[in-house]
Every structure is written in structure tokens, then in C-alpha cells.
Structure 1
Amino acid sequence: MTPGAETMVARDLKLRLIYPRFQKFLDGHERLKPLVQKHQVGNYTMPPPLGLPLIAALTPPDIEVNLTDDNIGQPVDYDEKPDLVALSFFTPQANRAYAIADEFRRRGTKVIMGGIHPSCLPEEALLHADSVCVGEVEPVWDEILADTRAGTLKRLYKPVGEYDLARLPIPKRSIFEGDNYSWSAHLVLATRGCPVRCTGCPIPLKEGLDIRFRPVAKMIEDIEAMPFKQFYIIDDTVMLPNKRRILPYLMSLMEATAGRGLSIFLASTMMMFADPEFYRKLKRGGTSSMYTVFGFDRLSRALLSPECSPKEWQDGIDLVHMIEDAGIHFFGSFGVGSDDQDEGVFDRIIQFCSESGIDLAEFYIETPFPGTPFGQRLEAEDRILHRNYDLWNTGNVVYRPKGMTEDQLLSGFQYLWEEFYDGKDENRTLRTFEGVMNRPV
């Protein structure tokens, strides 16, 4: 090597990715423990999110990348000396993420944060981090690595313009140890951005109002690389009733997935097509389950309100039957505590589930998450009770509701779980979730 040449060689970097632990939303509800043990609903561990696997995939192979999955109890080694610690998290993980970051920084290690919560509250996150990535990481990750190497890490990184999902790499899911997650499935990303401002969703703020689609060929490449045949498309935007852009994309994807022996979970609201042939096409494409969130979109809010008309009620029941008749399992996720609900909402939910034949459901307390219209309104009205983010997991009352007391909301939430699952066959509860049933709790 010629004299001075060593100064031209890039310094090797060592990264430590950390996924912080969080409290499941039924933890702490002792009266529901027998139900959880019997049915496992609310207790199974979801497949890991895509943020850290995408970072691992974006990182050049000459950089050492290691993961600590704090959520399954892997120990955090604070004595390690990585060049950068990266934490990605959502609100129920925030307290734990901040504690981890504070300890690393106390020992002189640089920390960067990203994900939904830091993107929505960057100034709060910067109290515990050297840097925050706001929004999508893909456009700025190379810059973050270069600045880490140069010792010039910026306080904030924000992408300029929209990221082309055709460039999205296949997530490096292998960084998570699969045997520790009870649902043998993967999460798959199909879109980013959403033009619909549902009251409880931060996606428009984080990803923009324009829907961007991942090319179907890239989706198939990702699916073919997975060890499991079951996966969950995490974007409910693919089920929005927009015939001009969304419907052609979804039908193209279903044509590509048909005949591959797949089991696909789709997510939606009640804003779906009332067309039996549409659901038969989804079934032919491999769709096995429809996870449907009630509480944030205008149709489900009307359905659960005291002013719901007989036609609206019957239309909702007919839609559930239409999906089930196509051979797709309907999974209802019912939110309670919104300002337009009264104490009668709990019985209305049970009645709707009974009349429509829903046999798989979960129930959650609406939570004023940062970056959502609901959260912004409750913040402005000074109705948020505390910032103990451990309890911001949709299983606790963290704000003052309007249509009922805090005690009535919590009691109604517990009543829903007990009343709905009373008499249900535990061997059928999660029948479309591969790997979950018969696992010890």
C-alpha cells in the first residue's frame, strides 16, 4: 500500500438495530386472562414489522448489522460499542425505546430513531436521541450511513419528494428469529400513502395523501422469497373502493397470486365493494381472511351509532355474509370510545356480530395516537389523561371520553370480550392463523 493510502479506505461501520418491547393490549386485564388462555385471541405474537428488515436490506454488505429483539426478551448489551444504534417503534414502545436510547447515549453511543411515533413527535424523540428520521427511511438511509461514518450525524432526516416503491428492496426478514413469533406468516407492503383521512390513522401525515403502488412483479418476487405461504398485506388502502386506481392494481395482484397455494390476509374498513364477484376473485387469488376495522371510517361509525338506519344495518350484515359466502373468513376489529358513541355501543356491537354471524373479533379502545386527527383534536381539547405510553396500546383508557365515563368505557371493553367469546369454539377461533392454534400461552 502506498504511503497515505490507508486514509482512502472507508472505515467499517457496526450497526445495532433494536426492536423495543411493548405490552400487549390485553395484558393487565386479569378478568380476561381465562379467555385469552382459552382462545389465544389478543395473545398471539404478530410477525415482526418491516421497518428494521428494510433497513437491514438497504445497508451495504460490508457494514455489520445486528439486531436485538427486545420484544421477545433478548438482552440489550449496553457495553457494546456500535457506531450507531437504530430504534424503530410505534407509540406503545416509546417509553422502552427512550429508556434504551438514554442508556446508550449515557455511554457515548450515537442513537437514531424512526418509525410512526418518532415521525409524528420528532421533537419529543430528540430529547432521547441524537437523530430522528421523519417519514420514509429509504431515501435518506445512505446519507445517514455516510454521516455516521464521517461523524456528522444530523438531528433530523426528512426525505424530499416521494419514494418510488419499484426501488423498495426485499426486506431482510431473517434478522428476526422466526420461531419466537407464534403466527407463521409475514407482513408484506403493497402501497404507501392514503388520501382518506380516517380519524385514527397517521398514514396521511407520515406517507402523504397520494397512493403509491409497489409493482406487482416486485410483490411476487418478495412473496417467492418467503419461507411461509401465509402473509398479511398491511395496507388497507388496497381495499378502498377506488375503481380508477386501486381496483385494477388489486385485481392484477390477485391474478398473479392465484394458483400459488398462498393464504393471504387483507385489511380493510367497512368501505368495501358490495359485489359478490369481487370477493370470489379475491378468494381465487388466495385471500383467506379479511381483517376489518370498525370505528374510524364513516360507514362503520354510522353502523355503530344510535342513529343507524335499518338499511345501513342490513347493508353491513349483507357485506359480512358476502365475504363469508366467498370463502373468506371475516375478522372484525371493533373500536369503542369515539365521541359519537354512547354506552349502548357495546350491545349494538354484540347484536351486529350475532346477526351477521361473525365468529372472530377483537375489541379495542380508541386511542389518541400522535399524528392522527383523533389525537390532534383531543390534544387541542385537553382531554388526554397522561403520557404513559406503555398504556397507549388500545387496551386502556388514556383520555376523557364524551359519551360515557372512563369507567363505563373500560367496563364495556371488557364486557365485549367476555360476551362475544362466551360459548365460542376455541378450536375454530384462529383457524386461519397458521402456527397459532395449540401453542402454549
Structure 2
Amino acid sequence: MRVFLIYPKRDPESLVRTQFSMERVHELAFWPLRGKSYGLQFNGLESLSALTPKWVDLTVINENLRDIDMDANVDLVAITVMVTNATRAYQIADHFRKRGVKVVMGGYHPFMIPHNSLAHADAICTTEAEYVWGQILTDCRDGKLQQIYRQTEKTDMIKAQHIPRVKRWEWLHQVSLTLQSSRGCPFSCEFCSIVQMLGHDMRYKTPAHLTEELEVYFKHDILGRVFYRPIFFVDDNIFGHPRTVKEMLRAIIKLKKKYPHYRAVFGSQMTINVYKDKEALALLEEAGFYNIFMGFESQDRETLKAFNKLHNIAHNYDEAVATLRAHGMEAISSFIFGTDGDTEACFDAAYDFFDRNNVLYPYFNILTPTSDQWKRFLAEGRILTVKAKLYDAHHTVFVPMKMTPRQLQEGFIKLVSKTFDYKNIAKRMRGVYLDSGRRQARLSLPLPLEKAFYHKLHFTLGMQNDREGQSFMEELKPHVWSGMVPMASVLLQIDQHDWAVRNRFTMAEHRYNLDVPAWKDRPHEETAIAGEGLASDIAAQVR
């Protein structure tokens, strides 16, 4: 039986890209060679691929990396669907179903809105898939495909293992490979839908199983032998159970000693309390972690309380960034804009935080209401659109409380543009690599190779008529030449500048009126409850 396993693009026609899709990294590094590339390897595809029996002829397609043969002779198309790529997923599904090919959908979107997904698929999976994926394949082969598949219990991660399939060439087209060591999160942030599907209880793989998966990369990946290989743990909160994480880190350290010529560097998502744990910081540093995604969300205490993100309130953000940096790690500092407490002043406050802490990797989100929050906004009449592809944290899809939708969108665009203006990037890089007393950068190469890469990248930008990018490099050249600023970081910042430029196109993608009053300024009689049409139909389905 021939099966396509697909992760769709967000919107093939859009000029906007996601912040860490990192298309520009490979475009510049491998020029003049051409080919598609993407930032993070999509772990959901890799996990299902690892669970697929050998009697299945499986083709794994991340549409960001390769095109889909829409006329292929296949028996089943399985699509992993997030909210942001649901529109494209429906297009793919409808095309194959018209040809008589069976389609099954899984992921967060079918979990959140099952009936809407069933309108475009023969079957959906509304839970984790470890215990039902084999049954889905068998049922399809035998002509007995059911409409809905769901596990009756959470996956036992102690027994779970997802050995990656070796794909040396494809791995070269991805900036970061991925693994997952745990599922679940002990917290209940209002804007997050993770715990609804995966629960509050932390479930970890054993260190032995995890390092067996990791060893596949150590043995077969090319990039880690000639440069460095970023590997990102896609856990929603890997630090949910500190003692277990420390056992995992010790196992990784032991594995790295077994492969001294493979240069792996790691990242993951963690809650802010990790910076207070000296033992954890020492182990993270020794294991080779170089960035930590940290959801700061807001600097306003009342907003954090409204988010139910109480664990952030007791901690000092500036101290967290500095402490991680002292241990060789940068904080990917994530903020959300458009909360009910936010005014236009939130953008200046965020920029000030990035600037005074020389944050190399700011991460930007417009509030994207989900689940109960989305239902509440709908009932209040604040939802502006139900187009799934715009629910990507880059577009304004609701009426803010203290800003107009246009003020939120324009303020977001201006903040992103200002933060990733080359002059401001260069200032922050000097602050990190020259002024902070930071130890040697994780991604630095021997100086002759750093200089060679500088010349190659500078020449490539010239061939692409990117004089602004060349000027940015020339400003940093003395520090690259002295071995203080690594070229990998320069390349990543050029990529982030590209994202900021393309983010400006978000304004034109709003096909609805953004010039409506802030919610607090609406006359009372206008705040009618929305109860008709597509939005209310979807609301009836949303978990």
C-alpha cells in the first residue's frame, strides 16, 4: 500500500513567512545551488514515519521542502494539520478525494474542530497517534476505514520510541533536526491549547530510548561532522519535571563523549524557573544547549495574571536572560501583543527589553485566541475572521480591548521592523559578543573558516544586490576577524531581517476592516453576541 504523509505549507500564495522558517539561511549558505529549505524539521512527520510498518510504501512530504505530486498513484494521504495550515490542508485533501484517494487528518486542528475537518477527510485522528496509526493503515488496506480514531489513553512515553529514518540529504535542507523527549505541561496558560490534548501530567521517554534516537543523528548526519548540527527538542515544556530532565541531560553528555567528532548543539522550550536551578544550568551547558525558547509573554503583572501565567511573576526577566547567557545560552524571548491590558505602549516596552538586554532572538506574536478564549471573544462579538491561515500569530483576527485592530497590526509591524533593523541588530550583537564577557560562542569555527565564510556570504549578498546586508556585514567585519562574532550568528540575523521585511506584507492580507474602534470604546448596544453564520458553527465544534 502506497501512502503519502504530508505536512502542508501555511499558504503557498503568501509572501509572508514564519519567523523561524529560516529560508534565507540555506538560500545564502548554499548559493549558487538552489533548493528548498526549512528551519525546524517537523517532528510529527518523523514520529509517524518511525511507527509505520515495513509493508507500507511511505513517502514523507514536508511541503515547505518538496512539492506534492498531486497526480500520484497512492492509496492513502495522511495530513498533519495545524490551525495555520488548515486551509492548505483542505485544498490538498479535497483534490485527492476527488480522485478517489482516501484521506485521513490528524493533529491539533482535527482535535480542536473535528467536524469541520471531517468535511474534508474520510477519517480523522483526534488524539495522539501511537496506538492507532497502525490500525488506520490496516483499516485502509482492508477497506474498513473508520471516521474517527482516538486513543482511549495517553501514550506511555516510558515505552515510546521513535527511531528516525536516515535521510542524510534531506537533513541538509533543515537548519535544525528535532526530537521529542516528553509530552504534557503542568501549567494552564489561557492562550495555550497544548494541555487540552496532551494533559498536565509530564510524560518522559527513558534516557536510554531518547539517546538511541539521538544516536541515529550522531551516526548518520553530515552537517554535525563538518560544522555544527542544531537539534531542537520540541517538548512544550521540557523542564516540567526537573529531576527527570537532569537524568536525560546526563545521558546526552555521556553520548556526546562517545562521538567526540560530532558537534551537536541543542535547544528547547523551558519555563523561566530553569534559570534559578544551578545544577540544571551546568548540565545544560555541558550537554551543549545554545538556545532556550522562553515564553515571557508580557512584562505586565496583571496581564500575566489574566493569562494564568503566574509562574512568570516571581522572576526577573533581565536576570534570566543574563544567567542563561553566562552559561552559553541565548533566550529566544517570546512576547504576545494584543492582550486586554495592552495599549500601544506595549511595543515600546518590548523594544526597551530587547535593547537593554541585547536579546539576539526576540520572538513576536500577535495574540491568537484559541479554545475557550476564542469562544469568549466570539460571544462578545470580537472575532474578525475565521480564516484559519490568518491564525498564525502574525495577523490581527480580533478586536483588541484598548487598541484598534489597525493600531495592533501596525504597531506589531513597526516593532518587528525596528528590532530587526540592521543597525539595531549590530548593536545587540556587539553587546552580546563584545561587552557581556560571554564565553566563546557555540557556533564558532576556526578563524580561517570564519573568514572564508564571511567572504562567501558577502559575495553572495552582492550577487543578489543586497547592499544593505553587505553594509551590515562590513560593520561587524572587525569583530568577525578578531574571532569574537561567529558568522553563523551573522547569517541567522540576516535571516531574521528578511523575516521582518516580509512581515510587512501581513497588512495587505487582512481582507476585512481593521479601522473599527477598540473594544472598550464600543457603545454598549454594539456588543451583541455573535450567534449566526460560519463562526457560530465552528464555535459549536471547538473544544
Letter paired with 1:111: V
Shift of 1:57: 1.7
Return 170-179 or 124-133, whichever deviates more: 170-179
- The CA distance in 2 between the partners of 1:415 and 1:44, in whole Å, is 28
- 1:160 is paired with a residue whose SS is coil
Task: Find the counterpart in structure 1 of residue 231 from structure 2.
Answer: 231
CA displacement, residues 347-395 of structure 1 (integer Å, 9 cap, x when unaligned): 11111222333232121212124xx443343234332211222222211
Shift of 1:438: 7.5
- The CA distance in 1 between the partners of 2:487 and 2:324, in whole Å, is 16
From 68, 74, 88, the equivalent of 1:82 is 74
Shift of 1:27: 4.0
Task: Find the counterpart in structure 2 of residue 144 from structure 1.
Answer: 136
Change (3 A) 1:376 1:433: farther
Say whether the 8 Å CA contact 1:17–1:67 is kept in structure 2. yes
Shift of 1:138: 0.8
Percent identity over paired residues: 26
Letter paired with 1:329: E
Shift of 1:222: 0.9
Task: Find the counterpart in structure 2 of residue 124 from structure 1.
Answer: 116
Shift of 1:340: 2.4
- The CA distance in 2 between the partners of 1:169 and 1:300, in whole Å, is 41
Letter paired with 1:409: L
Matches within 5 A, 1:105-116: 105-116=97-108
Higher helix share: 2
Say whether the 8 Å CA contact 1:18–1:70 is kept in structure 2. yes
- The CA distance in 2 between the partners of 1:176 and 1:376, in whole Å, is 44
From 215, 227, 248, the equivalent of 1:253 is 248
Letter paired with 2:8: P
- The CA distance in 2 between the partners of 1:224 and 1:179, in whole Å, is 17
- The CA distance in 2 between the partners of 1:155 and 1:174, in whole Å, is 33
- The CA distance in 1 between the partners of 2:148 and 2:486, in whole Å, is 42
CA displacement, residues 309-333 of structure 1 (integer Å, 9 cap, x when unaligned): xx96982211211111112112212
Task: Find the counterpart in structure 1 of residue 373 from structure 2.
Answer: 374
Matches within 5 A, 1:311-326: 315-326=316-327
- The CA distance in 2 between the partners of 1:176 and 1:297, in whole Å, is 43
Shift of 1:119: 1.5
Matches within 5 A, 1:99-248: 99-165=91-157, 166-172=159-165, 174=167, 177-181=170-174, 183=175, 185-226=176-217, 227=221, 228=224, 229-240=229-240, 246-248=241-243
Change (3 A) 1:142 1:335: same
Shift of 1:274: 2.3
Q: Does 1:69 align with 2:62?
A: yes
Letter paired with 1:394: A
Shift of 1:435: 8.4
Change (3 A) 1:151 1:37: closer
From 266, 274, 289, the equivalent of 2:276 is 274
Shift of 1:111: 0.4
Structure 1 gaps of 5+ residues are 1-12, 241-245, 306-310
Shift of 1:257: 1.7
> How many equivalent pairs are there?
407
TM-score (norm 1): 0.82
Matches within 5 A, 1:291-440: 291-295=293-297, 301-302=303-304, 315-369=316-370, 372-422=371-421, 423=423, 424-425=425-426
Return 60-69 or 396-405, whichever deviates more: 60-69
Return 123-132 or 191-200, whichever deviates more: 191-200
CA displacement, residues 113-134 of structure 1 (integer Å, 9 cap, x when unaligned): 0011112111110000000001
CA RMSD of aligned residues (A): 3.5
Letter paired with 2:178: L
- 2:368 is paired with a residue whose SS is coil
- The CA distance in 2 between the partners of 1:44 and 1:412, in whole Å, is 30
Shift of 1:277: 4.7
